[in-house]
Amino acid sequence: MTQRKPRTQHLLTVIRREQISPHMVRLVLGGEGFEGMEFRDHDAENSGERTSCTDQYIKLLFADPALGLQRPYDLDALREQLPVDQMPVTRTYTIRHVDREQRQIWVDFVTHGDEGMAGPWAERAEPGDQISFFGPGAGYAPRSDADFHLLAGDESALPAIAAALENMQPQARGLAVIEVHDSAEELPLNPPVGVEVVWLHRGGEFTPENTQLAEHLRTAELPDPQENDIQVFIHGEREQMKQIRRALVDERGLPRKGMSLSAYWAYGRVEDEFQAEKRTPVGQIDPA
């Protein structure tokens, strides 16, 4: 039986904090821990090219401040000392940008006031604060040989979509659909000329009633999937991803194989519940 490689816990320091929109904070993280990070590359099936992934994610670790635990956390020792409900928990975030020259990463956080763990921490973070995490993991990069790129998601997918648009070839064609609270949440993007960007405005926090993403993709103008290689990157709320999967694959005939389509979160669930449900029927994007 092959033993799983031990996960490395990295420790970085907040270099600066930027409020890039009313509900999004960017933290620039750096320090000696950067040297130990292994960033992921993607091997394209058709062309054999090897490119840096644009959906690299890390799992940030958070513990109850009242416990006074020191980072990086010795999780093995803590399991022997603490009850399960006091153990550090993880929150998953996409790396927006890797600055190899400055040895820094950018991480964008969607914030909802005091709701959650990571958002409030990012709101209060100051230069010199430290954060530890596992990763990065990844699996997607825009292929230069794709005929068309379809990218879509809500705020949770915006960092990865922005990174993908910046890394596409100048001649790339495609469509990026991004759903946000309102126009104040739109961020500057750098897509190729041939990639259209559409912003959808919910007019408030996400609810199953005001979201528009799945319905927009159901009728969006796309090339014929029988005659064009359409590379897909779509991530966001779980029930929306199920609807989008049905719309694109079952109704519009796009091949499921090769799609990067999955849930980043689930409405009404904290991440621990969301991750646990991935192993149950309710957590599956594809039908059994």
What amino acid is encoded at 12 in this protein? L
* Phi, psi of 172, deg, nearest 5: -60, 145
Q: Which is nearest to 63 in space by CA: 102, 117, 136?
A: 117
Helical ranges in 185-228 per DSSP H: 213-219
pLDDT in tens, 76-111: 999 999 999 999 999 999 999 999 999 999 999 999
Confidence of residue 50 (pLDDT cuts 50, 70, 90): low
**Percent of the chain whose pLDDT exceeds 90:** 89
pLDDT value of residue 150: 98
Helix (H) or strand (E) holding 244: helix 238-245
> Is the CB of residue 112 less than 8 Å from the CB of residue 119?
yes
pLDDT in tens, 175-190: 999 999 999 999 999 9
pLDDT value of residue 26: 98
pLDDT value of residue 206: 96
Confidence of residue 42 (pLDDT cuts 50, 70, 90): low
Question: Is 60 exceeded by the pLDDT of residue 46?
Answer: no
Confidence of residue 2 (pLDDT cuts 50, 70, 90): very low
Among 41-45, 233-237, 268-272, the minimum mean pLDDT is found in: 41-45
pLDDT value of residue 49: 55
pLDDT value of residue 144: 95
